[in-house]
Structure formats: C-alpha cells, structure tokens
Amino acid sequence: MRITELFDNGEFVVTAEVGPPKGICVDHVVEEAKSYLSGITAVNVTDNQSSVMRMGSLPACIALKNAGLTPILQLTCRDRNRIALQSELLGAAMLGIDNILCLTGDHTKMGDHPGAKPVFDLDSVSLLHTVKQLESGVDLAGNPLVGEAPKFAKGAVVSPCSDSIDAQLAKMERKVMAGCDYFQTQAVFEPEKFIKFMEAAKQFGKPVQLGVIIPKSVGMCKFMNNNVAGVHVPDDMLEELRADKEKTKAGITGVEIAARIIKECKPYCQGVHIMALGWESKVPALLEKAGI
C-alpha cells in the first residue's frame, strides 16, 4: 500500500521510525514494532542513521512487511553511487516495498566510521529525479528497463523551523519539481514556526507530516540545539523537563510536550511522523494523549 493513496483520501497519516540492529538479529525490532506501532499507518526504517553502521534498511523493511506492517524504505546518498541506488530501488520494488523516503544523509565523519569515504554521487533532489526516471521505464542513463516499471510513494524531508524559511521553501520546491509526493519534517519544538511555514508551503499542494521527537532529557535537548540543524528546543520546555526529574525520566513529561505540539500543529498538516529514538513503547500513550 502506497501511503499517497491515504493522503489522497484525506486520511491523517501517522508514521514512526525504527532503526535496524547493529547485527543480524532483527527479531527484537520486529517485536517492538508489532507491540507498539501496529496501530499506525507505516514504519520508517532508517538507513545507517547518523552514519552509524547497521543492518541495511531494505532487509529490515522486508522483516517488518512479513510481520504484517507497512514499511517505508529510507534511502541515503551517502554510501552509494547512482548505480547502486537505482539497483536498490529496483530490488525494493521487486520485493513489494513501494514507500520510500529520499535523503542526502549525514556525513561519515559524524558516525562510527569517520574514516569512511562518503559518496554523495547524488543528493536528495537528484535521487527523487532518479526515482521518477525509473518510474517512467528508463534508468538515469536513458536505458530502458525490462518489463514493468516500479512505482513508489516518494517522500522527502524539510526543516520548517530552520532560521531561513525562504531557503527551506526553495528546497521544498526543488524536491516537488523532482517528483516528491509527500514530506516528513525535521523535529518540531516551535509550533508557531511550523504553522508559519505551513501557511507558505500550501502553495506546493503536497501533504506534510509533522516531525515529532519525544524529549527524553535536558541533555538530549541541549545536544539537539547544538548539533541538529533546524531544531531548537525553547527554554520553557527545558525548564519543564527540569521541573520533575522522576517524571521526566519516566517519559511522562516528554510525552506531554510532544502531545501538546501535535495538538497545536495538527490542523495545519496532513499527518505526523514520530521519531521515538528507542522510546517506541511511548508511542501509543503519545497518540492517545494527542487525541489521535
């Protein structure tokens, strides 16, 4: 099932993401997804997130699909050239994976193999164009595909709370022109910025899912403020996390903050994307508190 069909039907699409293991046993990832994410629309599977080597996204997607979940294949340009990216896409289509999220990817110096050579033959925009080209029945070099062409719901990322809204809108426009069908946003902690961005982004006519992270601690939030572009956790939220350390440690405060953000932003978006970062068990409570 392509999630674009749900967007087209006016449904509010809820997704969450999981990370493949740093090993070959995927059972615990599948069991957690079945336990806590089976009630949502689809599950993103990260692709060596933060440049940390893990099992590939595609085999983990297949494991989730076999367990009855709808996976979204995340595909980054950091580790593959255009030949390998097209090959991965054809393989995904053959295996019935028809939802994708196209990403440029974090630089290798950020991860656990900082000496690895980054590829970046393509970026997220040119990867979207590549997918569109494959869907037309030819590869990026103009060579015809044999048999049926693949068809994907093509997603991309945008940062609505970045300091430069105009720059983000320009990036969004390039991705739409390259064939993007839907967007998932970087984590939002400033609803007023998100709402302002969405008013301007309506011109593109593409569904946007609000990106949400459940804040675990003050330290985590400070790290994001210092290291994650387009993300800023305001001081009042930091104080809320400081107020009751036991409540914060249990995840109650973080769920309350995330639910409040969803409620405020829900009228302005077409879905929500939850980046649980190991707190998948909190997702059902978050959705209940957010009224979804």
Secondary structure of 6-69 in HEC code, one letter for each residue = HHHCCCCEEEEEECCCCCCCCHHHHHHHHHHCCCCCEEEECCCHHHCCCCCHHHHHHHHHHCCC
CA distance 270 to 69: 21
Query: Would you state the torsion angle of the CA atoms of residues 283, 287, 289, 292, taken in this order, to the nearest 10 degrees?
Result: 180
Residue 15 is predicted with a pLDDT of: 98
Q: How far is CA 24 from CA 45, 64, 68, 289, in A?
A: 15, 14, 20, 35
Q: What is the mean predicted confidence (pLDDT) over 102-125? A: 95
Q: What is the pLDDT of residues 10-68, one digit of tens each?
A: 999 999 999 999 999 999 999 999 999 999 999 999 999 999 999 999 999 999 999 99
pLDDT at 157 over 90: yes
What Rg value do the Cα atoms of the chain yield, rounded? 18
Q: Using pLDDT thresholds of 50, 70 and 90, give the confidence band for residue 164.
A: confident
Residue 163 is predicted with a pLDDT of: 82
DSSP string, 88-139: HHHHHHHTT--EEEEE----GGGSS-TTSPP--SS-HHHHHHHHHHHHTTB-
Q: Using pLDDT thresholds of 50, 70 and 90, give the confidence band for residue 230.
A: confident
Spell out the domains of the chain, with CATH numbers in brackets.
3-290 (3.20.20.220)
DSSP state of 230: T
Q: What is the pLDDT of residues 175-229, one digit of tens each?
A: 999 999 999 999 999 999 999 999 999 999 999 999 999 999 999 999 999 988 8
Residue 1 is predicted with a pLDDT of: 86
What percentage of residues in the chain have a pLDDT greater than 70?
100
DSSP state of 162: S
Residue 229 is predicted with a pLDDT of: 84
CA distance 199 to 285: 29
Nearest in space to 228 (alpha carbons), one of 176, 161, 143, 129: 161
Q: Which two tokens stand for residue 274?
A: 């939850």
- 3-state DSSP assignment of residue 213: strand
CA distance 231 to 226: 9
Q: Using pLDDT thresholds of 50, 70 and 90, give the confidence band for residue 98.
A: very high
Residue 58 is predicted with a pLDDT of: 98
Average pLDDT across the chain, whole number: 96
Contacts of 23 by beta carbon, 8 Å cutoff, 6+ apart: 55
Chain centroid offset of residue 68 CA: 20
Q: Using pLDDT thresholds of 50, 70 and 90, give the confidence band for residue 285.
A: very high
pLDDT at 257 over 90: yes
